[in-house]
Chain A
Amino acid sequence: MGLNDSRRGIVHVVGPEQGLSLPGMTIVCGDSHTATHGAMGALAFGIGASDVSHVLATQTLWQPRPKSMRVNITGRRAPHVSAKDIILTVIRNLGASGGTGHVIEYAGPVISNLSVEERLTVCNMSIEAGARAGMMAPDDKLINWIAGKSFAPCGKNWDKALTNWRVLKSDPDAIFDKEKTIDSKDIIPMVTWGTSPEDALPINEKIPDPNSEPEQKKRNIMSEKLEYMGLKPEQALTDIKIDRVFIGSCTNSRIDDLRAAAVAKGRRAAVPAMVVPGSAAVSKQAKQEGIDRIFINAGFDWRPAAGCSMCVGVNGDVVPPGQRCVSTSNRNFRGRQGPRARTHLVGPAMAAAAAVTGKISDVRAFEAR
């Protein structure tokens, strides 16, 4: 899909959006966040360059069989809690290597109640818990979402596909190598403070104190992170002033994410805030709904063309050295968004809140305008 193709955008947004990623498929890409497509009930994972050439040449791939993990999210999520907050909580819970060697299946009532776009956000960050892939079983909500998409099957092929898709779920007595249950009642909006997605905290907490860490090695690592990020122990998260905001990336750039970030309506950006839609189709729909005007009127920088942009900063959209950026992307590694850039990962509404206050903020305190 060329630059002027009306269907183009970030690969992991376009695939599901256009019906190219479907239940039961094996899907690969030379990119870390390929797990996103797992929300379609597919087995999707990132691969390296030599694997890419193997797939191009043979349409097959040699892989060791991963182990399986089920993460059950129970209870009911509270208002203003986004899918991003859920996955950040999961990653914090499992740790950056908790899922290593495993494929995670997300299950439970909270997952079933997520919209399809929210499920894409959750699966997207599976690798940040070390997992090979993340997936969810197809259900009626997903099937209705897929129906009619450009590359989705139709006619007799649709009926045939449905027969296959309806049995794509774990058997009741399926055995997983690991199981984890997380109660969503305590999940509130989250923000990362360090240089790994596992360094996430609820918004009402404070920067951790390395001295409270019993192991010397971990204390040192924590101190180094705080130094890089320019943060002090016991600092309230909501006291941290920021330099800019990025709303975009394959994690959070779909229409639902932009709608959530439209909490900026009637307010003004206090810092430079860039909004990059995930695809040409998302951009078009945002314009139809007037969401682009909401951002423009609030002084945000609404970008006309979709792409990975400031998530990885290789296209020129970078965070200047030393600046602190609140971002809806998926990685807060040192230098990810630019040399010496400091990244705080949040959900889209939280990002918009930070943009209009100029500091990390609790979006639950915002009223709609």
Chain B
Amino acid sequence: MTKEPNSLFDKIWNQHEIKKNTAGQSLLFIDRHFCHELSFHAFNMLEARKMRVRHPKRTIAIADHYTPTSGTNKSNFTNIAHYNLYKNLESNAS
């Protein structure tokens, strides 16, 4: 059982801990998962194992690293690879 009194961190950890393994690691439930463009690695891993996203509604995808600051149209991307990263995220999210 957890020690009393608890810190803010203890409270959140304890509330989300599903179980522990023999190595002492905790399995935590994740309430919110944000994905940006570089999540394609992870989506590829899922696809390779024919798995689907468990909780789509808890997963928010927003492109922010490779997006141009000159505007939000395809023409604002000066690098096609960056645009493809954005489109990849869009398709993974849908």
Contacts and interface: CB of A to CB of B under 8 A. Distances in A.
Contacts of A135: 8-9
A63 interface: yes
Nearest to A316: B78
Given A28-B30, A56-B59, A60-B29, A307 B8 contact: no
A80 to B, nearest CB: 28
A9 interface: yes
Greatest chain A CB density within 10 A among B24, B67, B70 is at B67
A38 B19 CA distance: 23
Contacts of B71: 304-305
Contact of A1 (B39, B51, B61): B61
Q: Identify whether the interface residues of A are mostly helix, strand, loop, or mixed.
A: loop
B8 A105 contact: yes
Contacts of B67: 3, 305, 307, 315
Question: Which residue of B10, B30, B38, B54 has the most chain A CB atoms within 10 A of its CB atom?
Answer: B30
A228 B37 CA distance: 31
Contacts of B39: 30, 49, 52, 56
Interface extent on A, as a size class?
A: 35 or more
B35 A29 contact: yes
A28 B33 contact: yes
Interface in B1-49: 3-13, 15-16, 18, 21, 24-36, 38-39, 41-43, 45-46, 49
Given A3-B67, A308-B64, A27 B46 contact: no
A321 to B, nearest CB: 18
B48 to A, nearest CB: 9
Given A50-B45, A305-B68, 9 more contacts: A3-B86, A15-B34, A50-B42, A65-B25, A307-B65, A307-B67, A308-B65, A315-B67, A315-B69
Interface of B: 3-13, 15-16, 18, 21, 24-36, 38-39, 41-43, 45-46, 49, 51-55, 58-73, 76, 78-79, 82, 86, 90
28 contacts: A3-B86, A9-B64, A11-B60, A12-B34, A14-B62, A20-B32, A25-B32, A26-B12, A27-B30, A27-B34, A30-B35, A42-B31, A49-B41, A49-B42, A52-B41, A56-B35, A56-B46, A56-B54, A59-B54, A62-B26, A62-B28, A170-B9, A176-B7, A305-B70, A305-B72, A305-B76, A315-B65, A315-B68
